[in-house]
Structure formats: structure tokens, C-alpha cells
């Protein structure tokens, strides 16, 4: 028997398994750790993909809108990217007064001045006017409708700008395939009706269940992703700068250029570092979020559950390790499971009142209905059962429960950093 270690909250959990049972340990490939983050961004901007350099696109006298994320995307390191972008704009003859920063809040809350300063850094915040997007603002501009029927309403400052620059970080995204790129426009600076129409593409329009083409790691043929890009093209996005962040929370890699071509190149890098090829599925997957703060609540654990089931045989067993010291973390994530009698009524609720948290809760419930998911957490057992999962007090108990569902020759994948590891079945 061999001992295996998993992060759990601010501590660790261990289990003992025979090495012969282990199909593999799935974890991301280590990213570079550069000495100078801004130099990484600068090199990307000097070598744009599918586009001229930014300073060749803009002209003196033009008004520029720089889109950054909000506090839920602070990890993308806008405070590193923004000064480099401003330097190139200034070198092209654009003064600070002709540049505005819009925080792409999507359907999220408004932010404080202190949060704005944290997002872009003290110097940029002092120099450049910065505002939040408001998805319910009556002054949004309608630019038309996408081929899939999504009304494209965008922030007026974005519409009125001569040049629009999008920034974000690229990671796997369970709806858009990958974060970053066009998501700065849709949902970032779009109207609430636009966001909801786009996100409803995650549901099967021809019957019950989910749209199987809307998933992490898929751009081409993903209708929700393609709809986002179509909306961003209508909004006239001119250039993008996106980061890829390492475990030290620093900019390890960056891409810049055309909104589609540069983003696709960044997505390929995400595949290289965060995608793990597997040749078969396992009977049992043991998955940790990676410890605190990634397992601060069950809502944040969704990404880990999403990746865990990608490595699991249909009807298999997953042991999910999430301390969830702050509880469920989102009320809609919970109530979509607890307040509706069946999946038909849950889907109808999402079609009528789509919310990302509700969709996440519903899909996690589906995984738990289709497989045996055992949750090791600090949550009350009854709350765990309400989400259709099996509660366990520790990893030993979870493994004992799992073996009750498994044949004697079961095989296992270990996922110690499952929140950032996407298994790719070849």
C-alpha cells in the first residue's frame, strides 16, 4: 500500500491505496516563472497574432476604451497588463485623456473606488478615468442581433470609442470553452437580456437536458462561444491582450492581437499546460480542489467536480475533497436543487430565469444523479444529501463508501489539483 496526499482547506488529507490500482495522477504541467511579468506582456504585444501592433492600429485623436475585468477576475493581473498597454498607446500619440477604462462586470455587482484601484494599480487608476459597466443601464446601445437570435446591447462608452481593447486571463470555461478573448464583450460589457439569451444556449433547445456542444475546451462548434464572438465582432473589438497565470499567481504567458486568432493561440497554450490526455476512464476518481481558497465553499468547488467527472466512467464513483468552510457559497446554486421537484421543472426555471449559479447547481446535480459522488467537507450531512451527494467525514470513510459501489478490481485516477486540470480523453 502507498500513501497519497491531497490538499484540503488549509490542511492535508491522506489515503492508502495499492499502486497497482492507480491509472495515473493527473495534474497540470508546470508553467514558466518569469522574473518580469510586464516583459511577458510586452513581448506578446510586440508579436501580435492575426493583427498589426496596437500602436499601428490606433491614431492620434482617436478615443480608446480599455476593457478590464472585475474583482471576480482579479487573478488575471490587469495591474500588470494595463501599464504596458497604456505605454504603447502613449507612444502611438494618444494622451491619457483620450483613454477610458471600463470594468467588465457582466451581470455582477458594482464596485468601489478601492476595488478599481486594486484592479488596475494605483498609478493607472490615478491617470485614467475608470467606470463600471451596468448591464441594466437604460443607455445601452443595441447593435443588432446575432445569427442565433441574441440581441446585442453594449455599454455606450464601448460603442462610442474609436478603438476597443479587451483584456482578461485565459482558463478553461465550462460554457465558453475558454475564458478570455470575446468574453470581455459578451458577457463583460453587454446588457442583461443579451447575457441571458447567450447563456440559454447552454440548454438543449430541441428537448430536455444540456447542450452537449457547450463545454470546456471547445471553441469550434460551441454555439455559446460562437455567439459570443459574433457579438464581440458587432461591438467592434479591435485588439486583445490576455494572460495565462501560474501557481504563483503571476503572468507566466501572454497573447495579444486579433480577438479570435490570439485567443485561439492562448487556448492552445491552456491545452498544453492544463489539459491532461488520458486513454481510458477510471472507476474511481479522487479529486481535490487544491485546498484553500479554492475549496472555500461548495460553489467554488464546481470547477473541480466538472473536471473530475471528465475522468470517470459513466456511473462511476467520485470522491470530491472540498472543506467548504464558508458553506454552500451561493443561494441559487443550492435552491435550484432543493426547491424544484424534478429536472424538468429545473430546466424550465433556467429557460425562464437563467442564472449561471442555477445552471451550475443543476449540472452538478445531474452529475450526482448519474454517478456516485462522495463529498468530504465540513458541510452538514443533510445539506450534502440535498445536493444529491453522499456525505463523508474524512477520506478513509469516503474510500470505504466508494468501495461499496465498486468491483474488486477497480482502477483510480488521482487529481490533486482538479480545479485547474481538465482530463482530455483521447
pTM listed for this prediction: 0.91
| Number of separate domains in the chain | 2
pLDDT at 206 over 90: no
Assess contact for 235 and 164: CB atoms under 8 A.
Answer: yes
User: Are 237 and 182 in a shared domain?
Assistant: yes
3-class DSSP assignment, residue 354: coil
User: Are 162 and 204 in a shared domain?
Assistant: yes
User: Are 220 and 125 in a shared domain?
Assistant: yes
pLDDT at 398 over 90: yes
User: Are 82 and 12 in a shared domain?
Assistant: no
Which residues have C-beta within 8 Å of that of residue 26, sequence separation ≥ 6? 276, 278, 311, 413, 414, 415, 418, 421, 423
pLDDT at 35 over 90: yes
User: Are 179 and 91 in a shared domain?
Assistant: yes
User: Are 261 and 116 in a shared domain?
Assistant: yes
Per-residue model confidence (pLDDT) at position 207: 82
Last residue of a domain, one of 212, 237, 272: 272
Half-sphere exposure of 374 (CA within 13 A, CB side): 22
Structure-block grid coordinates of residue 313: 466512467
Question: What's the CATH code of the domain at 256?
Answer: 3.40.50.11440
Please give the residue that has the higher pLDDT: either 71 or 50.
Answer: 50
Q: For residue 272, how many other CB atoms are within 10 A of its CB?
A: 13
pLDDT at 29 over 90: yes
Last residue of a domain, one of 212, 242, 272: 272
Q: Which residue segment(s) compose the domain that 375 sits in?
A: 2-28+279-425
- What does the pLDDT look like over 132-157, one tens digit per residue? 999 999 999 999 999 999 999 999 99
Last residue of a domain, one of 253, 272, 291: 272
User: Are 94 and 205 in a shared domain?
Assistant: yes
User: Are 15 and 126 in a shared domain?
Assistant: no
Q: Average pLDDT, stretch 13-35?
A: 95
User: Are 287 and 169 in a shared domain?
Assistant: no
Q: Hey, CA dihedral for 273, 274, 275, 278, is it positive or negative?
A: positive
User: Are 412 and 345 in a shared domain?
Assistant: yes
Per-residue model confidence (pLDDT) at position 33: 95
pLDDT at 43 over 90: yes
- What does the pLDDT look like over 217-249, one tens digit per residue? 999 999 999 999 999 999 999 999 999 999 899
User: Are 359 and 239 in a shared domain?
Assistant: no
Question: What's the CATH code of the domain at 345?
Answer: 3.90.226.30
User: Are 233 and 330 in a shared domain?
Assistant: no
pLDDT at 355 over 90: no
Amino acid at each position: 500500500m502507498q500513501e497519497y496526499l491531497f490538499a484540503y482547506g488549509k490542511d492535508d488529507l491522506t489515503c492508502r491505496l495499492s499502486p497497482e490500482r492507480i491509472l495515473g495522477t493527473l495534474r497540470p504541467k508546470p508553467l514558466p516563472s518569469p522574473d518580469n511579468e510586464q516583459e511577458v506582456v510586452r513581448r506578446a504585444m510586440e508579436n501580435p497574432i492575426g493583427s498589426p501592433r496596437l500602436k499601428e492600429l490606433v491614431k492620434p485623436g482617436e478615443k480608446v476604451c480599455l476593457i478590464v475585468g472585475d474583482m471576480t477576475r482579479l487573478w488575471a493581473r490587469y495591474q500588470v497588463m494595463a501599464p504596458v498597454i497604456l505605454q504603447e498607446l502613449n507612444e502611438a500619440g494618444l494622451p491619457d485623456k483620450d483613454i477610458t477604462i471600463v470594468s467588465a462586470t457582466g451581470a455582477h455587482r458594482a464596485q468601489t473606488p478601492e476595488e478599481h484601484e486594486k484592479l488596475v494599480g494605483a498609478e493607472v487608476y490615478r491617470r485614467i478615468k475608470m467606470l463600471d459597466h451596468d448591464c441594466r443601464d437604460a443607455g445601452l446601445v443595441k447593435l443588432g442581433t446575432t445569427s442565433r437570435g441574441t440581441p446585442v446591447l453594449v455599454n455606450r462608452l464601448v460603442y462610442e470609442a474609436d478603438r476597443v481593447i479587451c483584456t482578461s486571463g485565459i482558463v478553461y470555461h465550462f460554457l465558453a470553452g475558454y475564458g478570455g478573448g470575446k468574453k470581455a464583450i459578451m458577457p463583460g460589457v453587454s446588457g442583461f437580456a443579451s447575457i441571458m439569451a447567450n447563456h440559454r444556449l447552454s440548454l438543449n433547445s430541441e428537448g430536455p437536458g444540456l447542450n452537449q456542444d457547450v463545454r470546456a475546451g471547445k471553441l469550434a462548434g460551441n454555439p455559446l462561444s460562437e455567439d459570443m464572438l459574433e457579438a464581440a465582432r458587432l461591438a467592434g473589438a479591435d485588439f486583445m491582450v490576455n494572460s495565462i497565470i501560474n501557481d504563483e499567481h503571476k503572468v507566466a504567458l501572454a497573447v495579444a492581437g486579433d480577438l479570435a486568432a490570439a485567443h485561439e493561440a492562448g487556448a492552445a497554450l491552456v491545452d498544453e499546460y492544463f489539459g491532461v490526455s488520458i486513454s481510458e476512464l477510471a472507476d474511481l476518481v479522487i479529486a481535490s480542489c487544491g485546498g484553500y481558497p479554492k475549496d472555500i465553499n461548495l460553489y467554488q468547488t464546481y470547477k473541480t467536480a466538472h473536471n473530475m467527472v471528465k475522468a470517470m466512467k459513466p456511473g462511476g464513483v467520485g470522491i470530491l475533497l472540498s472543506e467548504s468552510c464558508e458553506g454552500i457559497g451561493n443561494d441559487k446554486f443550492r435552491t435550484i436543487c432543493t426547491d424544484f421537484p424534478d429536472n424538468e421543472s429545473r430546466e424550465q426555471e433556467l429557460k425562464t430565469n437563467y442564472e449561471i449559479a442555477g445552471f451550475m447547481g443543476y449540472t452538478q446535480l445531474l452529475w450526482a444523479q448519474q454517478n456516485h459522488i462522495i463529498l468530504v467537507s465540513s458541510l452538514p450531512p443533510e445539506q450534502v444529501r440535498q445536493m444529491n451527494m453522499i456525505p463523508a467525514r474524512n477520506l478513509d470513510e469516503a474510500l470505504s463508501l466508494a468501495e461499496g459501489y465498486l468491483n474488486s478490481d477497480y482502477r483510480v485516477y488521482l487529481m490533486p489539483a482538479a480545479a485547474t486540470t481538465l482530463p482530455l480523453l483521447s
